[in-house]
Amino acid sequence: MYRILLCLFFIASVASNAQDAAYRSSMQHFYNLRKQALTSEDGWLNLAGLFWLKDGANRMGNDPSNDIVMQHKDMPPFAGIFYRNANEVWWESAENVNIRVNDSLVKKRILFSDGKPRGRLAIGSLRWSIISRDDKIGIRMRDIAAEAVIHYEEPHRFPLSLSYRVKARLEKKIQVGILINNVIGQSSIQESPGTLVFHLNGKTYRLDALQEGNELFIVFGDASNGKETYAAGRFLYADMPGADGEVLLDFNRSINPPCAFTDFATCPLPPQQNILPVPVLAGEKDYHPNRKLRK
C-alpha cells in the first residue's frame, strides 16, 4: 500500500510540475509577444509626439515659428503643411524636402478622409500619420530609432500566482452601453457584451467588459494603482465565453496601458464600477513609477 501511495504521489507531482512548466512556457510566449507589440513600428515605445490640428493650414518643422514644432535631427526647419478642412486632411511638402510614403517621394497627399487615415509619411527615422478622437484630428509622430526601442526595458512584473487565475461568468447587460472616459478628457458610450462576475480570495467582484475583435477587453483599476502599479489602471484581455459560458481571467496577463509608456497616447480610463477595492498583485507593475500622470 505504501508503495502504491508513493507511486501515486510521484505521478501527481510529475503531472503538477508538467502543468506548471507548460503554464510558465505559455506566459513566456505571452511576454515575447508583448515585447514585439511594444517595440514594433506600430508599438507604443517609439511615440515621439501628438499634435492636434486646427482648421486650415498647420505648418510643421523644427523651427519654433511653425504651428507644429517637432524637435528632431531628421525634421527640417520647415517640412510642409497639413491642411484640415472639417474631417479631411491633406499634406503638402515644402520645396526640396524629401517626404516619402512607402518609399515614394510625395509632394501632395490626402492623409485623412471618410473617417480613415490614408497613408503614413516618413523622413529619416520619423513616421507620422493621422489619428482621430471624436471631433479631434491629430498627427501621431513616431521615431523608429527611439532610445526606448533600441534599449528595450522589460516591464517589471509580479511573480506568477495561480490564485490570480480565476474563472468568471459573463452576465449579459440590460443596458449594453457603458461610459468610458479617456486621458484627454473625452467621454463616449461604448458597447459592452456584459459583466464578468468572479471570485477572488473568497469574495465576489464584477468587471464590465468591452469587446475588441474576438476578445473581451477589460479596463480596470485596483488598490495597487499609484503604488506598485500604474496610477490610471491596467488592461486585461480574455477569450470570449466557451460553450460552458465561462471565461478565464488571468490577471497575471494584466498589462500597462500605452499611457504608462508615453505621454503621446490617448488611453481609456477605468469606469468607476471597474475599480476593485483590493490590490491585484499580478501582471505588469508601473513602467515608470516616478513619472507623474499627465494632466
pLDDT value of position 17: 60
User: Which region holds residue 44: left if phi is over 0, alpha if psi is between -120 and 50, else beta?
Assistant: alpha
pLDDT, one tens digit per residue, over 267-291 is 999 999 999 999 999 999 998 755 5
List of residues 6+ apart from 96 with CB closer than 8 A = none
Find cell 471597474 and name the residue.
274
Domain ranges for the chain, please list them.
47-145, 157-274
In whole angstroms, give the CA distance from residue 249 to residue 20.
Answer: 17
pLDDT, one tens digit per residue, over 29-83 is 999 999 999 999 999 999 999 999 999 999 999 999 999 999 999 999 999 999 9
pLDDT, one tens digit per residue, over 161-211 is 999 999 999 998 777 789 999 999 999 999 999 999 999 999 999 999 999
**In a 10 Å sphere around its CB, with 0-12 CB exposed, 13-18 middle and 19+ buried, how is residue 295 labelled?**
exposed
pLDDT, one tens digit per residue, over 87-104 is 999 999 999 999 999 889
Q: What is the pTM of this model?
A: 0.87
Grid coordinates belonging to 237:
484581455
In whole angstroms, give the CA distance from residue 255 to residue 187.
Answer: 22
pLDDT value of position 175: 72
Q: Which residues pair with 89 in a beta bridge?
A: 84, 112
In whole angstroms, give the CA distance from residue 291 to residue 275.
Answer: 22
How distant, in Å, are the alpha carbons of 117, 215, 237 from that of 240?
30, 6, 10
List of residues 6+ apart from 15 with CB closer than 8 A = none
Q: How many CA atoms lie within 13 A of 160 on its CB side?
A: 14
Taking each continuous run of H as one helix and of E as one strand, the counts in the chain are 2, 20
Grid coordinates belonging to 264:
503621446
CATH number of 47-145: 2.60.200.20
Give the closest residue to 142 by CA, choosing from 160, 122, 116, 158: 122
| DSSP, res 182 | B
As a residue count, the chain comes to 295
Q: Is the pLDDT of residue 6 over 80?
A: no
